Structure 1
Amino acid sequence: MGTRSRDNKTARRVTARRLGVLLGTLGLTAPLTVAIGGAAEAAPACTTRTGPYQREAETFLGRVADGEQSPADCKAIQDFQTSHRITPNIGFAGPLTWAAMRDEIARRNPNADGKCPVNKGRVACVDLTHQLSWIQDGKAVKFGPVPVRTGRAGYETRTGSKKIYWRSVNHWSTIYKVRMPYAQFFDGGQAFHAIEGSVWSPPGSHGCVNMRIGDAKSYWSLLGNGDNVFVYGRKPGT
C-alpha cells in the first residue's frame, strides 16, 4: 500500500472521529449510516425490549398493534427515532418517542380532541401541551398548525377564551426591551408576535405566544380586533 493511500485512510478516520465529537457536542446522533469516502458505519443495534408505548407506536407506524416487540417493529421505530433525532435510536418505544409521535398526530389533525371550540366562527387556537397554534373557522383549519413558544414557568400563558383587542405591527416592549413584530394582544399584555430567535429555544416566553416571522405575518393578515382566541392545555415543565 502506498503512502498516499495510507494517508487518505488516516484522514478519513480522523474526519469520522471529528464528526462524532461534533454530533456529541450538539446532542445529536449520526444518521443510520455515515459514509465519509469509504465504508458506511452501522446503525446502533436494535433492542429486543418491549417499550411502555409499544402498542401506541405500532398503531402510529401502521403495524400490527400486538404490544410485542419484533425485529420489524424495532426497525420501524428506530427509523422514526433517527429521522427525528431521538436518542438513543435503538427502537425502544419510550416516552420521548411516543411524545414525538403524538406531536405528529396533532399536526395532522390539530383539533382531533375537540378542545378548541368549533362554534365561535374564526378562532385562533393555542395548544399549550403540544406547543402548536392554528386558525380555524368552525371545524375547518384555515392556517397551520404552526410551532409556537409560550410562557415559561412563572410566566405561563393564561388559558381560556379571549379576544384580540389591540394590534401593533412594529411593537416595542418597554418592559423587556425587545421587538415584538406583528403583535396581536389578547389577554392583559399577552400577545401573538414574531421573535428573531428560535421558537424551539427554552425556557419560553414571558407569557406571549412567540411565532416565526412568516407565521406571525400570516396571523396578522388573517386575524383582527375582536377575533376569538382560545388557549388550553399545559406546557410541559410549567
Structure 2
Amino acid sequence: MGDIRRRGAVALGITALVAPVTLALGTGTAQAATGCTSTAGPYQKRVEKFLGRPVDGRQSTADCKAIKGFQTKHGITPNIGYAGPVTWGVMDLMTKQRAVGKNPGKDGKCPVNKGRIACVNLTLQLSWIQDGRKLVYGPVPVRTGRDGYETRTGLKKIYWRHIDHVSSIYHVPMPYSQFFDGGQAFHSVGVSMWNPPGSHGCVNMTRTDAKAYWSLLRSGDDVFVYGRKPGT
C-alpha cells in the first residue's frame, strides 16, 4: 500500500489513500477471475459520473470494467477498477482541460508581444502556439516533468531541432525533438498524455501534435513555460 500511496502522492499531489490495502486491492475469486475489485473507491461517485455510469457510489461489475478500461488506456496502475485518487486526478485534469476550450490564453500569462510563441501551462498540462493574440494551433494535452524532474519555467527559445533524436541518457526515441532548455524539449511519445507520473522534464506530445509543432516552429522561436504540474 505504501507504494500505491507514494504513486498517488507523486502523480497528483494527494497525500494518502483513504482505504486500507485489503479494500484498495480487493479480495476473493471475482477479482482473481476478472482482474477487478468489487470494492467502491473514495472517488466512486465522481468517477461514475465522469464515465457516464449510474451514479450510486456502489461498485458494480460494469463500473469496474469501465474504470479498468480507462486505467488501462492511460497507463494507470494498478488497473483493477478501483476509483482511487490517481484515477480521479486524471479525470479531473481532463475535465479542466476541456473547460479551456479554444481560449487557452485567457489567463493572460503567455506573452502576446513576442510574435510566434509556444506556450506551456504546467498546471493544466496544456500547450498551444499563438502569434500575438491569435491562436495558431491547439490547445493540446501534454505530459510534462514528474516530481524531481520538473519542466523548468520561464521564457526560453528553441535552440536545436532533431527529427530522429534518441536520448543519450535514457536511450529511448524522441521523435520531432525541439530543444528549448538544456535537455528539455518538445517531442512525441507512445504513451497516453495522461499517463502518470510524467516525463523526465521534456514536454511529451502525441505524434500528430509533435509533427504539427515541428512544421510550425523554427530555431529561435520563443517558448514560455508557466504554472506547476499537479503533484510536483
Q: Normalised by the shorter chain, which TM-score bucket?
A: 0.5 to 0.7
Aligned partner of 2:183 in structure 1 is: 189
Give the secondary structure class of the aligned counterpart of 2:146: coil
- The one-letter code of the counterpart of 1:222 is L
Question: Does structure 2 retain, via aligned residues, the 8 Å contact 1:165–1:186?
Answer: yes
1:174–1:88 Cα change, 3 Å:
closer
1:107 shift after superposition? 3.3
Structure 2: gaps spanning 5 or more residues: 1-29, 42-46, 58-66, 71-80
Displacement of 1:200 in angstroms is 1.3
What are the Cα deviations for residues 38-61 of structure 1, in whole angstroms up to 9, with x where unaligned? Answer: xxxxx2349xxxxxxxxxxxxxxx
Q: Offset of 1:103 from its aligned partner?
A: 2.4
CA, structure 1 residues 95+32, in 2 after alignment: closer, same or farther (shift >3 Å)?
closer
Residue 164 in 1 paired to residue 175 in 2? no
CA distance, structure 2, for counterparts of residue 24 and residue 122 of structure 1:
49
The answer to whether residue 205 in structure 2 is matched with residue 204 in structure 1 is: no
Corresponding residue number in structure 1 for 2:55: 44
Distance 1:183 1:109, change over 3 A: same
C-alpha contact (below 8 Å) 2:102/2:138 kept by paired residues? no
Q: Which residue of 2 aligns with 1:213?
A: 207
Match of 1:119 among 113, 125, 131: 113
Give the letter aligned to residue 44 of structure 1: V
Question: What do residues 69-126 of structure 1 show as CA deviations (whole Å, max 9, x unaligned)?
Answer: xxxxxxxxxxxxx9xx8x999xxxx999876543222233101100001010000000
SS in 1 for 2:127: strand
- Identify the match of residue 230 of structure 1 among 205, 218, 224: 224
Cα distance in 1 between the residues matched to 2:201 and 2:91 = 28
**Identity, % of aligned positions:** 58
Q: Tell me if structure 1 keeps the 8 A contact 2:93–2:124.
A: no
The structure with the larger Rg is: 1
C-alpha contact (below 8 Å) 1:170/1:179 kept by paired residues: yes
**Match of residue 102 from structure 2:** 108
Query: 1:204 deviation in Å?
Result: 0.8
The normalised TM-score by structure 2 is 0.64
Q: Which runs of 5+ in 1 are unaligned?
A: 1-16, 34-42, 47-81
Task: Provide the residue aligned with 2:131 in structure 1.
Answer: 137
Give the counterpart letter for 2:180 in structure 1: F
Partner of 1:155 in structure 2? 149
Change (3 A) 1:97 1:132: closer
Per the alignment, do residues 100 and 146 of structure 1 end up closer, same or farther by CA in structure 2, a change over 3 Å counting? closer
Matched residues in 2 for 1:32 and 1:230: separation? Answer: 36
Task: Give the distance between the partners of 2:115 and 2:36, measured in 1 at CA.
Answer: 47
* Bigger relative contact order, structure 1 or 2 (CA pairs below 8 A, ≥6 apart): 2
Contact 1:23 / 1:29 at 8 angstroms: preserved in 2? no
Q: State the match for 2:170 in structure 1.
A: 176
User: Which amino acid in structure 1 is aligned with residue 55 of structure 2?
Assistant: P
Q: CA RMSD in A?
A: 3.2
CA distance, structure 2, for counterparts of residue 181 and residue 140 of structure 1: 27
Moved over 4 A (4+): 21-25, 27-33, 94-101
